[in-house]
Structure 1
Amino acid sequence: MAIPRRHVKQEPGFARRRPVRYSGDDWPVAENKHTIPHMVFASARRFADIEAIRGEDGDTILYRDLEPRVREAAAAFLSSGIEAGDRVAIWAPNSVEWIIAALGAQTAGAAIVPLNTRLKGREAGYILRTSGARMLLTVSEFLGAAYPEMLRGEDLPDLQQIVLLGGEGGGVGWGEFLKRGAAIPPSAIDARLDALGEDDVCDILFTSGTTGNPKGAVTTHRQNIWVYQRYSETYGLRPADRFLIINPFFHSFGYKAGWLAAFLTGCTVLPHAVFGAEDVLARIEREKVSVLPGPPTIYQSLLAANYRAHDLSSLRLAITGAASVPVSLVEEMRTELGIETVLTAYGLTETCGVVTMCRKEDGVETIASTAGRPLDGIEIRIVDDGGTTLPPGEAGELLVRGAGVMQGYFNDPAATAEAIDGDGWLRTGDIAVQDARGYIRITDRAKDIFIVGGFNAYPAEIENILAQHPAIAQSAVIGVPDERLGEVPKAFVVLRPGAQATPEAITAWARENMANYKVPRSVEIRDALPLNAAGKVQKFLLRG
């Protein structure tokens, strides 16, 4: 199909799904078009005197100064030859510059392509080639990895420029890059903004590739603004909240549910590049942090650290999510860390990052044992293998439909057709149960389920039970081959600080607390579980 110039340029054969129609009543009142730059600039005027961003080094940008900084970056992109519809990749840790660069590229009409900071050169090269990125924004080094150096030898025919947001060597520096835009008149930026449409593509986020090569989920400005206005309202964000973002910006949790949601509501964004429990506790106290989202592992790490030595009284909101969140963790987040409101949520890259959320009025059991109910305007179904909708209480695959569902996978119509049916329902690949109230519980990824002697074993369910063991801080369960039963559970556990337990004792406890087919036949005690940059356990490393 022909793609209008204002849309992201793609190879022939890209399948855009049928657009979702929005009524005027679907939108909160706003003075501008519903694109990310327009809405951020509206916030800049509305919250002029509030700090917009404060970096780890103290570099601070007020909301009143946000638009000039972004327009300066946009001018540099224009001067460098970036056109509407181009892709600009970002491979760097959380920073002030990351945000300004992303907004500058989007203001210039480009779509950003965030890259996981844990990728190696071959993996990053695949995404850069597949997306056809014309520019890469990166750093010279992060956590011992020299990013430009890792790309040497990669075939990148579309990549024309590398710009360094930090460090030296391998590309033009950020300051030098910004100087390029000095000759670009303000009218040229205005023209790009005027041409930027709500249904233009704002980003392409690549999936993890755990079941094959990564695929790029394409979403638009309108979709993301629609989702995160509702998310922010449900979450309870408010102007001048101090929002610490440890979740990496390459992930929806750090980018969309992070600084985008924060800017829509007038929060102060506090980027944090590397998680360290003591550093984070000190920053919460120093910066008076009020909003602290993250995966369960972040809060478990804070609770295992010397948190009582810090003043955490400013903490107000937290949101987390996983297949299961122990009730004890939610209670400790409230009673020990003093977080007034703790919520859980569920989403995926293909839905702009969020589908369901708990509400503030929900009880601890609901918040810990469910992922909430859909945001207004989002539909879900639980279906069996034949696609028949299941009644409440029965487990099946979760389907999602609504404004947040991606346009498709970039230049991959076959994968798009496999993921989204003709009626707009997205197959998530997640197994879920919905209760009579509409709340869902994610029991597992379909691919993680294994069969023990004819019984379906759900790793998340077993992990949730193991979390109740007094000595266990974290666990991860996988299926391993067994000659008699086909597969049996194996558990990898991390003990609480100061706790002691043997594999045999844990297995004996499990036999008393779960059905026999769920009991781990072997237990391996580790100092830590392998986590990705988003804080999720990398089970493929455990299987290896």
Structure 2
Amino acid sequence: MIGLAKQGMVMRRRFDLGSLRWVCSGAAPLGRDVMEEVANSFPEVELVQGYGLTETCSIVSLERPQAWARKFGSTGYLMPGIEAKIISIGTSKTLPPNQNGEILVRGPNIMQGYFKNLEATKFTLDEEGWLHTGDLGYFDEKGQLYVEDRLKELIKCKGFQVAPAELESVLTSHPEILDAAVVPMEDAEAGEVPVAFVVTRNSSLTEVDVQKFVASQVAPFKRLRRVIFENSIPKTASGKILRRELTNTVKTLRRELSDKVRSKL
């Protein structure tokens, strides 16, 4: 989808895409800005976002743009027979619309448990049958679900929570940035700070340019501490960012910087 957003007009000129009618996105949160860019390049194509997990054995929610008012960035309405609620990360209390928390789902489609792993099953499925997805999101007042990020991927900076997907959406909104990924780096003062890997369009963008672009749109604690330029972002076959690889790269970089400081001392 990011490729279609950034290269859509070029692709239309190079290839005959007249038969393209419908595109569905899943596997990772898709921001409103990216969907709007794709829609502008392909106005005749119906764009749909859905949400589901391996543990749910089917789609949990899906957009139905022909039936209701369209909101780019939403994963749509719950599928028939499925219940869901949002709970507070700190208190586990059910949250009202437009408040971020962990997404819990329940229904006949939910798995019975992890194979030969009772401990993981108890951690994921509670006594009332709710599946704790580990995903962050919220419902709006009309019942549309928005998936923001993974709970375990949150960056904890000075006591605040920073969602990598939010910063990635800001980064890819830059016309010269083709793709981006954000991961944490350990910091003695803040605990963790966000670091970005970006792929650019053969531009002269500098690290400071990118940092200023993001800083102008986010709260101070969400500002990027480092920007690393790459030729590509490592991903799985389904399009999920391989954050562990990038986190290992950041750890190596931090060790190298620490060694340089020690050698100067």
TM score, norm. by length of structure 2? 0.85
CA drift at 1:323: 5.0
Gap runs ≥5 in structure 2: 249-265
From 167, 170, 177, the equivalent of 1:462 is: 167
Q: Secondary structure at the match of 2:216?
A: helix
CA drift at 1:443: 1.8
Q: Please tell me whether residue 379 in structure 1 is matched to residue 80 in structure 2.
A: no
Q: Which residue of 2 aligns with 1:506?
A: 210
Q: Which residue of 2 aligns with 1:523?
A: 227
Tell me, in whole angstroms, the C-alpha distance in 2 between the residues paired with 1:403 and 1:422: 15
Q: Which residue of 1 aligns with 2:63?
A: 358
CA drift at 1:524: 0.7
Contact 1:400 / 1:425 at 8 angstroms: preserved in 2? yes
Q: Structure 1 297/410 Cα, relative in aligned 2: closer, same or farther at 3 Å?
A: farther
Q: How does 1:256-271 map to 2 (within 5 A)?
A: none
Tell me, in whole angstroms, the C-alpha distance in 2 between the residues paired with 1:538 and 1:411: 27
Tell me, in whole angstroms, the C-alpha distance in 1 between the residues paired with 2:39 and 2:45: 6
Q: Please tell me whether residue 440 in structure 1 is matched to residue 145 in structure 2.
A: yes
**Letter paired with 2:30:** V
From 191, 195, 200, the equivalent of 1:495 is: 200
CA drift at 1:533: 1.3
Tell me, in whole angstroms, the C-alpha distance in 2 between the residues paired with 1:534 and 1:452: 29
Q: Which residue of 2 aligns with 1:479?
A: 184
Contact 2:5 / 2:41 at 8 angstroms: preserved in 1? no
Q: How does 1:15-26 map to 2 (within 5 A)?
A: none
Higher strand share: 2
**Letter paired with 2:218:** M
Contact 2:9 / 2:41 at 8 angstroms: preserved in 1? no
From 60, 82, 100, the equivalent of 1:395 is: 100
Tell me, in whole angstroms, the C-alpha distance in 2 between the residues paired with 1:425 and 1:537: 27
Q: Which residue of 1 aligns with 2:4?
A: 299
What's the CA shift string for 1:347-378, capped at 9, x where partnerless? 111011421111123556x22x2221211211
Q: Secondary structure at the match of 1:490?
A: strand
Q: Structure 1 358/316 Cα, relative in aligned 2: closer, same or farther at 3 Å?
A: same
CA drift at 1:464: 1.5
Q: Percent identity, aligned pairs only?
A: 35
Q: Structure 1 399/328 Cα, relative in aligned 2: closer, same or farther at 3 Å?
A: closer
What's the CA shift string for 1:242-270, capped at 9, x where partnerless? xxxxxxxxxxxxxxxxxxxxxxxxxxxxx
Gap runs ≥5 in structure 1: 1-295
**Letter paired with 2:168:** E
Q: Structure 1 526/532 Cα, relative in aligned 2: closer, same or farther at 3 Å?
A: same
Tell me, in whole angstroms, the C-alpha distance in 2 between the residues paired with 1:400 and 1:458: 21
Q: Which residue of 1 aligns with 2:236?
A: 532
Tell me, in whole angstroms, the C-alpha distance in 2 between the residues paired with 1:396 and 1:409: 24
CA drift at 1:467: 2.1
Contact 2:51 / 2:59 at 8 angstroms: preserved in 1? yes
Q: Secondary structure at the match of 1:408?
A: coil
Q: Structure 1 473/354 Cα, relative in aligned 2: closer, same or farther at 3 Å?
A: same
Q: Which residue of 1 aligns with 2:18?
A: 313
Tell me, in whole angstroms, the C-alpha distance in 1 between the residues paired with 2:7 and 2:174: 19
CA drift at 1:301: 7.5
Tell me, in whole angstroms, the C-alpha distance in 1 between the residues paired with 2:236 and 2:125: 27
Tell me, in whole angstroms, the C-alpha distance in 2 between the residues paired with 1:398 and 1:326: 18
Tell me, in whole angstroms, the C-alpha distance in 2 between the residues paired with 1:353 and 1:307: 33
* CA-based RMSD: 2.1
Tell me, in whole angstroms, the C-alpha distance in 1 between the residues paired with 2:20 and 2:211: 38
Larger radius of gyration: 1
Higher helix share: 1
**Letter paired with 2:138:** V
Q: Secondary structure at the match of 1:415?
A: helix
Q: Which residue of 2 aligns with 1:543?
A: 247
| Divergent runs of 4+, >4 A | none
What's the CA shift string for 1:147-166, capped at 9, x where partnerless? xxxxxxxxxxxxxxxxxxxx
CA drift at 1:416: 1.8
Q: Which residue of 2 aligns with 1:413?
A: 118
Q: How does 1:56-67 map to 2 (within 5 A)?
A: none
Q: Which residue of 2 aligns with 1:327?
A: 32
CA drift at 1:307: 3.8
TM score, norm. by length of structure 1? 0.43
**Letter paired with 1:407:** Q
**Letter paired with 1:482:** D
Q: Please tell me whether residue 431 in structure 1 is matched to residue 112 in structure 2.
A: no
